[in-house]
Amino acid sequence: MGKIVAANWKMNLRRQSGCELASALKNDGRDCWLFPAYPHLALVHDALIGGALKLGAQDVSPEEDGAFTGDVSAEMLADAGCTLVLVGHSERRHGHGEHGATLLLKLKRALRAGLKPVYCVGETLAERKDGKAREVVTEHLATLIELAAPDRNELAAVAYEPVWAIGTGETATPEQAGEMHAFIRGELAKHGMKSLPILYGGSVKPENARDLMTQPNVDGVLVGGASLELESLRAIDDVAREM
């Protein structure tokens, strides 16, 4: 079966390093999901031809094509060869003030263009300390529930990414991840999304990938920093393939 390994390259790499990484993964026969930066999408797409990896964008405009300087539409992403897109990453929610209404539009645009969203949820450290982690995650999931029922089946995954664990080197313990994933599974099940994969993200590394992925409701991982190096991404994907 195997679990899902998604690589969020964020604002890193160059055309050459991205394509080299993509080609090496393809030549290995891997089937990870790659999320390069916009200017690299079409080239990485070409490097992946003939392989089993999937290509996605890190964000999408809530608007259709038109006068939106600096934005990239869902149709453009599909045209560049993407089949996936991240929506609601915490660096968009917190760094760019994106909230439910905008994220719902992004989801709808993506789905209309035939892209499958990976929808990210997760609490900050202050929210966890205040005992509000579940409340925040429930609020984030509420955006999905506003989608029409048939659209909910077109999502690729939900990613639980506790904000305090992203890029900090601090990982949720496998128990913390397992507990929140079980909660998310229950919430999704209430709305007809029981079998939607749930990924964990936040400082996933070769050293902690096994403990995280052996948790019952962790269907895979969304990896940032450790996905930029071929060896560490390979090591994480080796664990995922064994499962």
Least distance between ligand PGA and beta carbon 144 (Å): 18
Least distance between ligand PGA and beta carbon 80 (Å): 21
Q: Shortest Cβ contact with ligand PGA: which residue?
A: 224
Rank residues 191 and 205 by Cβ distance to ligand PGA and give the closer one.
205
Least distance between ligand PGA and beta carbon 56 (Å): 12
Q: How long a stretch of residues is the chain?
A: 243
- Count the residues of the shown chain that bind ligand PGA, applying the rule CB under 6 A: 13
Place of tokens 């999931």: 141
Taking each helix axis from N to C end, the angle separating 174-189 and 206-213, rounded to the nearest 10 degrees, works out to 50
Rank residues 36 and 202 by Cβ distance to ligand PGA and give the closer one.
202
Pick from 3, 4, 5, 8: which binds ligand PGA (CB under 6 A)?
8
Of 61-120, binders to ligand PGA (CB under 6 A) are none
Least distance between ligand PGA and beta carbon 226 (Å): 6
**DSSP sequence for the chain:** ---EEEEE-TT---HHHHHHHHHHHHHTT---EEE--GGGHHHHHHHHTTSS-EEEES---SS-SSS-TT---HHHHHHTT--EEEES-HHHHTTS---HHHHHHHHHHHHHTTPEEEEEE---HHHHHTT-HHHHHHHHHHHHHTS-HHHHTT--EEEE--GGGSSSS----HHHHHHHHHHHHHHHHTTT-TTS-EEEESS--HHHHHHHHTSTT--EEEESGGGSSHHHHHHHHHHHHH-
Rank residues 151 and 238 by Cβ distance to ligand PGA and give the closer one.
238
Of 157-216, binders to ligand PGA (CB under 6 A) are 161, 166-167, 201-204
Of 212-241, binders to ligand PGA (CB under 6 A) are 222-226
Task: Point out the residues that are catalytic.
Answer: 89, 161
Rank residues 27 and 173 by Cβ distance to ligand PGA and give the closer one.
173
| Cβ atoms of residues 200 and 172 within 8 Å | yes
Rank residues 161 and 187 by Cβ distance to ligand PGA and give the closer one.
161
Least distance between ligand PGA and beta carbon 5 (Å): 12
Of 142-161, binders to ligand PGA (CB under 6 A) are 161
Name the site residues for ligand PGA (rule: CB under 6 A).
Answer: 8, 161, 166-167, 201-204, 222-226
